Amino acid sequence: MSNPAKKPGRQPESYQPRQPEIVRMAQEAQEAKSVLDKTRTVKSEGGGARVDFDYAFSGFRDLDFTNCFASLYMYLEDFAGAANVLKQQQERLFFLFDTVSGRSAALRGWGNVPTEIYREIYDTDGMVDFLMGYTGYAYEKHTGDFAKQISASIGRGLPVLARLKKDSAVYLDGKGDSFRVIIGCDGGKLQMPEPKGAQNPPKKAPKPEDIESVYVISGKCARRYTLLDGLKRVKRVMDCDRENSVWDEYIAAFSGSWEKLDGWSLSDIKQLFKTAHDSTTWTCHNFAAPFRSHEYLEPEPGNYQNWIWDEWKDPVFLSSKGRTHGDPLRLPPKTLIDWASDQSHNRQWQLHALYETRSWKKKYYRQMEWANCETAVLLLQKIKEYDGYIYDAVCAMIDTLEGGAA
């Protein structure tokens, strides 16, 4: 069964552009579903064909949608350069897509349980559609005839994104082995690029029976979403986590430890700290990256001149004009996000150290166990505080883009 990509209207919270932007997007819309303007080299192999695909994947995750799409996007946009530069570009795009889609803003609940918004955001069709619309690509989703659909796309010089069947009811970024880039097809035998750089790289390509659906690029189209739409997705994710008091759930697990210690065994205490260790996922690292300049990663800055970054370079995000009044340091939004994310990252490392650096062979005396629990409470309270600064900065950027900044 083939399903053409949905072309939904903007949701209520989506960006409503000013007139010049409307005119520009109307002109671009005329190019929707046009064929890609670059001729790709397709190599015949036996009875099948394959395309050359020499882009690495991010080492920050398994082969999930964000990771695979970042590499596919580089192919579609014909990125070129030395291997180390291309790897850096892929990593930056991975962070960008992880952030603008809202995924890196979504927390996991206590006990590593995905929240409702996490389930909605991570690796779902909604996330696929947003990033396709954000980058300006039309696509079709197919849930059958995989070999036929893949062969046709490879014949046009375009790799295919394949969603794998999964055992669990939800994807988790700690087990994000959910997508593949398919670059060749010979009958029922599929080919994928070498998964260079990815965590837990698979050893072989999937079989058609391993696939749940495929996403076939049908051409370039007008962008349906902008940075403002992405920031509003981020705000919505953060709103849901705040409404569900996710960080308060973490804090409550360690609170009142003096009274609780009588009923806790060493195993209970160890599990408490291990749960905090396993549930904090360093999303602040991924989230902050697009807001940073990354000069230290750019030995050849010219290689990073891609249009997708232009809207992130608005100088107002680094000026006092777009500053959030909830920030005690009085920093402009991008600087505040950079600082708060770094501080949160440090506190999360401290939280991990409470689990990883102590001996779990014996239970400490009451005062020491209480002190460790209270340290965890203080760290989590600071993490929640930094999360609030980031939220305020995101709101300030939205306000600026909508023309509400003073």
Per residue in 295-341, pLDDT (tens digit) is 444 445 555 556 677 788 788 787 765 555 556 667 888 889 989 99
Tokens standing for 12? Answer: 């209520």
Do residues 76 and 157 lie in contact, with contact meaning Cβ atoms separated by under 8 Å?
no
> Which amino acid is present at 191?
Q
Put simply, whether the predicted model's pTM sits higher than 0.75 gets the answer yes
pLDDT of residue 9: 36
3-state class of 51 per DSSP? strand
349 token code pair: 């490392």
pLDDT confidence of residue 182 = 96
3-state secondary structure of 175: strand
Provide the mean pLDDT of the chain: 83
Ranges of residues in the chain whose predicted pLDDT is under 50:
1-35, 38-39, 295-299, 405-406
CA distance 154 to 160: 8
Cβ atoms 100, 127 nearer than 8 A: no
Q: Which of 227, 253, 251, 204 is nearest to 102 (CA)?
A: 227
- Closest by CA position to 306, among listed 104, 130, 70, 33: 70
Q: What is the pLDDT of residue 128?
A: 96
CA distance 215 to 331: 42
pLDDT given for residue 5 in this prediction: 44
| End-to-end Cα distance, the chain | 52
Tell the residue number behind the tokens 């349980």, with chain if given: 113
Residue 158 CA to residue 171 CA, distance in Å, equals: 26
Q: Give the per-residue pLDDT at 309.
A: 77
CA distance 171 to 240: 18
d(CA 268, CA 265): 5
Neighbours of 158 (CB within 10 A): 22
Domain 30-220 part of CATH 3.90.70: yes
